[in-house]
Chains A and B, each alone.
Chain A
Amino acid sequence: MTKGAKILVIDDEPSIRKLLNISLSTEGYTVELAKSGKDGLLELNNFRPDVIILDLGLPDISGIEVLNKIRERTETPIIILTVRDSEQDKVLLLNSGADDYLTKPFSPAELSARIKVALRHSLNLKEEPVYINGPLKIDFSTRLVEISGKPLKLTNTEFDLLKILVQHAGKIVTQKQLLKEVWGPESINQSHYLRIYFSQLRSKLEKFSLSKLIITEPGVGYRLLLL
């Protein structure tokens, strides 16, 4: 149940705060606003949010610092708000513990979707041995994938990649994360591996018209689409 969940918004722009307040409360969330990093950290203790929305362009403390400070105390999911052209910051924060991101300008619908995903994962729903997402069905124990009942043959690597996306279903998984988990830490710069494998994976999915299942976020990573 995500209704009534507590969301902490940390953003120095009054207009953004207002907008988020209105749209999120309309959805039924309880919203707390903070206008600086310091305030945000204070509210962290008082408010105990379920999801934190963190703007990167804060005046007093840098985004990465706030992130680190938050992560010192809690594993609460963090969604960061970024602007275009700040790829490096985005990736850095995602690799440092942020869960997801949104690029301004964003639509409240997108934000809502992200929040839902974040809440889902934070509520630590038990890892089912079988994952179902629309027509997609994955049995982790047998390593069998089916789409609408028909089997989908995947190589081991392709399966591993898909598995990670599924484990973070709906959430962004950075390139570094993927490369590290599948190929090991020494391969974290070989982004071309991902291109090739996801290209293959997509073409296989396309036969079922499901290539849209895998969303590429260029420069950042990949994400599984929740159907």
Chain B
Amino acid sequence: MEDFAKRLTPEEALKLASAAEHKTRGKLKIFIGYAPGVGKSYSMLNEGNRRFQRGEEIVLGYVEIHGRQDTEKQIGNLEVIPRKKIHYSGKILEEMDAEAIIKRHPTTVLVDEIAHTNVPGSKNKKRYEDVKEILAAGINVITTLNVQHLESLNDIIKQITGVTVRETIPDGFVEKADEVVAVDITVDALLNRLKRGDVYKKEKIPDALRNFFREGNLNALREITLRQTAQEVDEELEEYMKSHGIRESWQTTERIMVCISPSANAKRLIRRGALIARRYRCEWFVVAVESNVVYAEKWSPKDKEDLENNFTLAKQLGAATVILSGRSISDELAKFAKEKNISQIVIGHSEKSPFQSIFTGSTTSRLLSETKNIAIHVIPTGGELANDDHWMKMLFGSDLTVSDFWKTLLMILAVSGLNYFLVPFLGYQAVGFIFLLAVLVLSMFVSFIYIVLFAILSSLIWNFFFIQPIGTFVIHNPADLIMSIFYVITAIVTGYLTSKIRRDEKLLALREARTDTMHRITSIIASAKDRHTCSLEIEREISVILPGKCKVIVKSEKVGFENILRQTITSDEKELSVAMWSYEKGGVAGWSTETLSFAGAMYLPLKGPSENIGVLLYRPEHYRKLSPDENIFLIASANQLAIYLEREILRERSIEAEELKKSETLYRTILDSVSHEVKTPVTSILGIASALEDENIINDKNKKVDLLQELSDSADRLNRIVSNLLDMSRLASDVLALRKDWQDIGEVINLCVQHLGSKLSKHNVQIEIEEGLPLTMLDFALFESALSNIIINAATYTPEGTKLNISASREMEQLIIRVADAGPGVNEEELPLIFDKFYRTKDAPAGGTGLGLAIAKAVIEAHGGKIEAFNRNEGGLEIKITLPIGQQPDMTEIKND
């Protein structure tokens, strides 16, 4: 039973991520050797036997004996799955039977020579594809491989051995292997084996010695193999460190930057970068620059896909990946290199035609000149880097600017035509200016290439049609020649400048938008009413600049942060663990970062000055690495927000503390007051009870009657205090369930007075109820309590014999109840205070808790009404209760008989 409450550590999350893929996948173990005969098959079989003896269910899927006896002996007792017979060209050939293996479904199967190409007619072309199926079925596989079968090493091996190996395996397959073991023997030992005839038959030996088995060959191959194996080990270490979010302090100050383009050939550069980075055990970056210059070629979707693949490889190898965009590729690279203190650059050697190089030089050479202190590795690649200078290509067939082409053409024709008509009036020199004007206009609409085109064409037209001698490209007048040349120059420069302005404006607009939003975020925070609306507004602002989903998640005092995450974002354990990591460690994590980048979103910690507040989630609409600008924007926003949120949270906390203090004070006051109040009647009761034991008193009838009356009164008083306390607690509890029912206010008042009975005996009580008052929804018990308290108050604080007026009337949509006495009234300053809890006026007689009016107020207000106190003109205090008259109940059943 899964414990859902347990949180994943990032290692576990990573394991989960890959486990999800490898859930039922079998384990792959590869024995790699550098040449035939080193003992790969032997080792494989040996291991198979050992495991078999240990009790593992292991079978032999395929082994190529090559007639080597030692190898054959190693088969031992292993069960052999019979080979599949395939008919091809009249022959019967044998291949490994993958279906039979899968059907047999052992724990592990031994498969020799994984790079083997299957006989045509087999289901899969290559044996490694069969092995893939076997692994997918959940069966472990142990296999063998020669180092020259690795795709990425193919060319090196070709160079060394002169042999092109055709049966290759994609690197990815090997990289996914769970275990790679290098089967290694010294070159001398191998040569001895060969000479002994243990590798090939006697006849083949001389040939082998001459070709493949040359000592130099073998040594080189051995080194490559060992290095390859070492690389795998290193990669695992990198993975481990990365998944722990550990960034070891770099041991050297080296920093590598690999510059790539979307082309697939970039992989070579990446690998080289990985190699170098490994050697120095340092940080390294893989950078691609998208040129946004006016005439440059933009990346197509295929390009972007290739780039993603390259980046995936780069990340796997431990690089940080970055997309930059800028006007000049070399400029951006140089800038990045300087910012990040790059010490070594790996760049591809572009294969440009000399023609192109004459005009513009290459990115590489420009980079070289811009980065004087950095070592640059120029790696020959098949493909080229995107260059700043693609304009040659642009002229001959580009998909983007076809409409621009037509616009230009149109413009040329139109203006030429115009000039033709104007020449008689203006003269042939003016033509240049008119064309120039046209350039200005055109540059607003088309890309720079076409400006150049226009400039040249218009110059030629001018020359041919308008400059003497007309009809030729010859220019007689030297002044005219100069004019013509300068026209072209001016046109091109003008066009360039105008396009630059256009482009710069766009860039500026973008920057402004970002600054604007930063500004807006600051002002949202400054004017925020509460942190909830503030968070929402900021989420919205951020999504304007960075399309995608943005969410602010703040911790709470009551619920664990993880549960909040679970409720608000997702229950995906991987995502949760990344978010938690960001929150706890206070670092940026997730997609587009260097930590736990497999996550689906980016998590920025909201870290206030003194505590962690929460996490800001950003999930982009399209997954593209954020530019440094955008990163800074997000981080700055998060920081601002965090500061604000912390302030608010602290403020809320201090308010709560205040409230707590207040209620504690109240609690203490109640205890004090109650204990005093209760003690009084209790003392009285006890005293009387004891007195009644006295013979003298029992026999004295008057005394007895007096005491018994006193006993009754005290008990009554005690009862009243208890009632009040019960009312108070009902009112104080959050769940005040008023039990309302339709009541006739007149009835209520009469009953109330009736119940008070003897307590009002010393006063002259007058009740005036207006005729035809509507019914009101009241909680009878509480309301009676409130009214009683008010009336008793009036009786207690006014002299005996005075009048007590209780009236009920209607004023528009309100019901007014007044309790008026003819006593001394209350001081003006104390008037508003009498409804406070435990308030007793300065000259109050003993025996009240001061709760009565407070209860009354709470009850009336709970009914949606109002209570006020006035000093009457004719002397005395009036308490006025205002109650809203609600909608009357359905009266249709009332029979009017």
Residues of A within 8 A of B (CB): 84-85, 87, 105, 155-157, 183, 187, 190-193, 195-199, 202, 216, 218-219
Q: How far is the CB of A108 from chain B (nearest CB, A)?
A: 12
Contacting chain A: which of B123-131, B235-243, B509-517, B889-897?
B889-897
State whether A218 touches B780 (Cβ < 8 A): yes
Contact flag A196-B751 (CB < 8 Å), given A190-B889, A218-B743: no
Contact flag A219-B780 (CB < 8 Å), given A84-B723, A195-B743, A195-B744: yes
Chain A to chain B: the 5 pairs with minimum beta-carbon distance, closest first: A192-B742, A218-B780, A192-B889, A155-B897, A195-B744
Partner of B742, one of A187, A191, A197, A202: A191
| Interface CB pairs A-B, < 8 A, 10 | A85-B781, A87-B739, A190-B893, A192-B889, A195-B743, A196-B891, A196-B894, A198-B747, A216-B751, A219-B780
Check: B746 CB closer than 8 A to any chain A CB.
yes
Residues facing A in B847-897 (CB within 8 A) are 889-891, 893-895, 897
Check: B775 CB closer than 8 A to any chain A CB.
yes
0/1 string, B768-787, CB within 8 A of A gives 1: 00000001000011001000
The CA of A187 and the CA of B893, in the complex, are separated in Å by 9
Partner of A183, one of B730, B748, B781, B893: B893
Contacts of B893 in A (CB 8 A): 183, 187, 190, 193
State whether A216 touches B747 (Cβ < 8 A): yes
Contacts of B719 in A (CB 8 A): 105
Q: Residue on A with the closest CB to B715?
A: A105
The CA of A105 and the CA of B712, in the complex, are separated in Å by 12
Interface centre among A87, A105, A199 (most CB of B within 10 A): A199
Residues facing A in B732-786 (CB within 8 A) are 739, 741-744, 746-748, 751, 775, 780-781, 784
Q: How far is the CB of A142 from chain B (nearest CB, A)?
A: 17
Check: B726 CB closer than 8 A to any chain A CB.
yes
Q: How far is the CB of B815 from chain A (nearest CB, A)?
A: 14
Q: How far is the CB of A192 from chain B (nearest CB, A)?
A: 4
State whether A195 touches B781 (Cβ < 8 A): no
Q: Residue on B with the closest CB to A212?
A: B754
Contacts of A195 in B (CB 8 A): 742-744, 747, 775
The CA of A134 and the CA of B38, in the complex, are separated in Å by 127
Q: How far is the CB of A84 from chain B (nearest CB, A)?
A: 7
Contacts of B780 in A (CB 8 A): 218-219
Partner of A192, one of B715, B751, B775, B897: B775
State whether A191 touches B726 (Cβ < 8 A): no
Partner of A219, one of B715, B723, B741, B744: B741
State whether B726 touches A84 (Cβ < 8 A): yes
Q: Residue on B with the closest CB to A192?
A: B742
Residues facing A in B532-556 (CB within 8 A) are none
Contact flag A199-B746 (CB < 8 Å), given A85-B726, A192-B889, A216-B751: yes
The CA of A105 and the CA of B891, in the complex, are separated in Å by 38
Residues of B within 8 A of A (CB): 715, 719, 723, 726, 730, 739, 741-744, 746-748, 751, 775, 780-781, 784, 889-891, 893-895, 897
Contacts of B889 in A (CB 8 A): 190, 192
The CA of A87 and the CA of B746, in the complex, are separated in Å by 22
The CA of A156 and the CA of B894, in the complex, are separated in Å by 12
State whether A155 touches B726 (Cβ < 8 A): no
State whether A219 touches B747 (Cβ < 8 A): no
The CA of A184 and the CA of B371, in the complex, are separated in Å by 100
State whether A196 touches B747 (Cβ < 8 A): no
Q: State the main secondary structure of chain A at its contact with B.
A: helix
Q: How far is the CB of B204 from chain A (nearest CB, A)?
A: 102
Beyond A156-B897, A195-B747, A216-B751: 16 further Cβ-contacts under 8 Å?
A84-B723, A84-B781, A85-B730, A156-B895, A183-B893, A190-B890, A191-B741, A191-B742, A193-B894, A195-B775, A196-B775, A198-B744, A216-B747, A218-B743, A218-B748, A218-B784
Q: How far is the CB of B759 from chain A (nearest CB, A)?
A: 15
Interface centre among B730, B746, B784 (most CB of A within 10 A): B746
Contacts of B741 in A (CB 8 A): 191, 219
Contacts of A157 in B (CB 8 A): 895, 897
The CA of A216 and the CA of B754, in the complex, are separated in Å by 11
Contacts of A155 in B (CB 8 A): 895, 897
The CA of A199 and the CA of B889, in the complex, are separated in Å by 16
The CA of A84 and the CA of B775, in the complex, are separated in Å by 24
The CA of A155 and the CA of B891, in the complex, are separated in Å by 17
The CA of A216 and the CA of B741, in the complex, are separated in Å by 14
Q: Residue on A with the closest CB to B743?
A: A195
Q: Residue on B with the closest CB to A194?
A: B742
Q: Residue on A with the closest CB to B754?
A: A212
Q: How far is the CB of A139 from chain B (nearest CB, A)?
A: 19
Contacts of B890 in A (CB 8 A): 190
The CA of A2 and the CA of B579, in the complex, are separated in Å by 81
Contacts of B894 in A (CB 8 A): 193, 196-197
Q: Residue on B with the closest CB to A157?
A: B895
Q: How far is the CB of B547 from chain A (nearest CB, A)?
A: 57
Q: How far is the CB of A212 from chain B (nearest CB, A)?
A: 8
Q: How far is the CB of B810 from chain A (nearest CB, A)?
A: 15
Q: Residue on A with the closest CB to B772?
A: A199
Interface centre among B730, B744, B751, B784 (most CB of A within 10 A): B744
State whether B897 touches A218 (Cβ < 8 A): no
The CA of A183 and the CA of B891, in the complex, are separated in Å by 13
Contacts of B775 in A (CB 8 A): 192, 195-196
Q: Residue on B with the closest CB to A197?
A: B894
Contacts of B897 in A (CB 8 A): 155-157
The CA of A197 and the CA of B747, in the complex, are separated in Å by 12
Q: How far is the CB of B887 from chain A (nearest CB, A)?
A: 12
Q: How far is the CB of A194 from chain B (nearest CB, A)?
A: 9
Q: How far is the CB of A143 from chain B (nearest CB, A)?
A: 12
Contacts of A84 in B (CB 8 A): 723, 726, 781
Q: How far is the CB of B554 from chain A (nearest CB, A)?
A: 42
The CA of A218 and the CA of B747, in the complex, are separated in Å by 10
Contact flag A199-B895 (CB < 8 Å), given A190-B889, A218-B781: no
The CA of A128 and the CA of B21, in the complex, are separated in Å by 93
Q: How far is the CB of B320 from chain A (nearest CB, A)?
A: 70
Contacts of B723 in A (CB 8 A): 84
State whether B744 touches A199 (Cβ < 8 A): yes
Q: Residue on B with the closest CB to A88?
A: B739
Contacts of A87 in B (CB 8 A): 739, 781
Q: Residue on B with the closest CB to A184?
A: B893
The CA of A158 and the CA of B121, in the complex, are separated in Å by 104
The CA of A128 and the CA of B723, in the complex, are separated in Å by 43
Q: How far is the CB of A103 from chain B (nearest CB, A)?
A: 11
Q: Residue on B with the closest CB to A105?
A: B719
Q: Residue on B with the closest CB to A154?
A: B897
The CA of A84 and the CA of B723, in the complex, are separated in Å by 9
State whether B746 touches A219 (Cβ < 8 A): no
Contacts of A192 in B (CB 8 A): 742, 775, 889, 891
The CA of A84 and the CA of B729, in the complex, are separated in Å by 14
Q: How far is the CB of B201 from chain A (nearest CB, A)?
A: 101
Q: How far is the CB of A185 from chain B (nearest CB, A)?
A: 13
Q: How far is the CB of B251 from chain A (nearest CB, A)?
A: 77
Q: How far is the CB of A197 from chain B (nearest CB, A)?
A: 8
Q: How far is the CB of A83 from chain B (nearest CB, A)?
A: 10
Q: How far is the CB of A90 from chain B (nearest CB, A)?
A: 12
Contacts of A219 in B (CB 8 A): 739, 741, 780-781
Contacts of B746 in A (CB 8 A): 199
Contacts of A183 in B (CB 8 A): 893
Q: Residue on B with the closest CB to A211?
A: B750
State whether A218 touches B742 (Cβ < 8 A): no
Contacts of B742 in A (CB 8 A): 191-192, 195
Interface centre among A198, A202, A216 (most CB of B within 10 A): A216
Q: How far is the CB of A101 from chain B (nearest CB, A)?
A: 15
Q: How far is the CB of B779 from chain A (nearest CB, A)?
A: 9
Q: How far is the CB of A150 from chain B (nearest CB, A)?
A: 21
The CA of A191 and the CA of B780, in the complex, are separated in Å by 13
The CA of A195 and the CA of B778, in the complex, are separated in Å by 13
Contacts of A218 in B (CB 8 A): 743, 748, 751, 780-781, 784
Q: How far is the CB of A22 from chain B (nearest CB, A)?
A: 15
